[in-house]
Amino acid sequence: MNKLFLTLALGVLTLCSLTACGSDDNPKSDGATVSVSSTNVAFGAAADTTIVGISANHEWGAYTDESWLTVSPDNSGQPNAPISIIVAKNTEEAERIGTVTIMAGTARAYITVTQAAAEKSDDPVVDPGDTIDAPEGYKLVWNDEFNEGTQPGSDWTYEVQPAYWVNSELQAYTKSNDVATISDGTLKITCKKVNGTIYSARLYAKKTTGWKYGYIEASIKVPTGKGTWPAFWMMPVNYTSWPADGEIDIMEHVGYNPNVIHSTIHCNKYNNGGTSIETASRSVSTATTEFHKYAVEWTASYMTFYIDGKSLLTYRNDGTGKDAWPFDAAFYPILNLAWGGSWGGAQGVDESALPATLEVDYVRVFQAE
């Protein structure tokens, strides 16, 4: 009886091996092959189409699970035929990636499809609860109200440099250590000491494009403390040398002289001369405790600097050329908080003032209508 059972069991095992028992889980190749002329295709954000060649020894089908992707045709009885890969317009500010799968019998080929993010709109964003009044004859073209996210957005570029990089300043400029954060509707640039090193932030808005002429304004509360040197200023997009290419200092403040605000221009003809032609100052009694509006109206003929809408300094184009007026090119806005340096540290520094914070409610750029 046992011998008969053993004989039957061996027979079943032999039969299974001959007939591929369990083949549903481990299918054998049917000899089909398939390949594609490109395994990676990339598109811009616009709706578009590209052709990819299919080479197979078997009829094939194509499919994708992405709603923004289409393939045509999605099957063919012809072993070798091209397909069109079609993408819809990407309206999101994020890149997207999908896969097209080609099936020929048991063979598979894959095409990775990448589509670029939509370009970020340069249309100014207005807080629904805030009405932005443009100066007469101007319209808003760009702004940051610092109402979204926890850090500056993609319009801002961080400078990353060691201490003493410029003006003998003592801080290192960095993107780390939370030196630039957004909360409660304001940008906060904080100068702090971390493991013996002082860090801060220097941020550029629209550095590669900037603007030529306009009314540029920020609402700012400056920090206290001897050694602090905050600034809201502008530099040329196509910079080659200083001061020949110009510098526009809309607002500067040094902590050893609290609540005194300075506006200055720099060029070859006027550079740190201290004359009333190129610089002016005003005491603003609550500059370190309240927000104030600092602005420049910049035209082809003049630049007028303002504090809370009241003019402080007007610098005029005298028509003598670039040495006196290099301000006929695009400039970009800058926000930074320096520590010490040739001006901020002229009367020493007081590290008990750290951390110190420059707080910015908004930055806005208007241009002539």
For residue 12, the model assigns a pLDDT of 40
Residue ranges covered by each domain of the chain: 32-115, 138-368
The pairing of beta strand 197-200 with beta strand 172-173: parallel
- pLDDT at site 122: 60
User: Of the CATH numbers 2.60.120.200, 3.40.50.2300, 3.30.830.10, 3.40.50.300, which one belongs to the domain with range 138-368?
Assistant: 2.60.120.200
Residue 124: CB partners within 8 Å, gap ≥ 6? 132, 140, 141, 142, 143, 364
Output the six-digit token pair for 172.
């290192």
Q: Any idea which residues carry the catalytic annotation?
A: 247, 252
Nearest C-alpha neighbor of 138 from the set 209, 210, 205, 216: 216
Provide the edge-to-edge strand list for the sheet that holds 34-36.
Answer: 34-36, 48-56, 80-87, 69-72
Mean pLDDT by 10 residues, the chain (369 residues): 40 42 51 92 90 89 90 82 90 90 92 88 58 93 96 96 97 97 97 97 98 98 98 98 98 98 98 97 98 98 98 97 98 98 98 98 97
As a whole number of angstroms, the distance between CA 39 and CA 41 comes to 7
Q: What is the architecture of the domain spanning 32-115?
A: Sandwich (2.60)
The enclosing H or E element of 2 equals helix 2-19
Please tell me the number of Cα atoms within 13 Å of 309 on its side-chain side: 4
Is-contact 334 187, C-beta < 8 A?
no
**Residue 242 in contact with residue 316, Cβ under 8 Å?**
no
Residues 6+ apart with CB under 8 A from 129: none
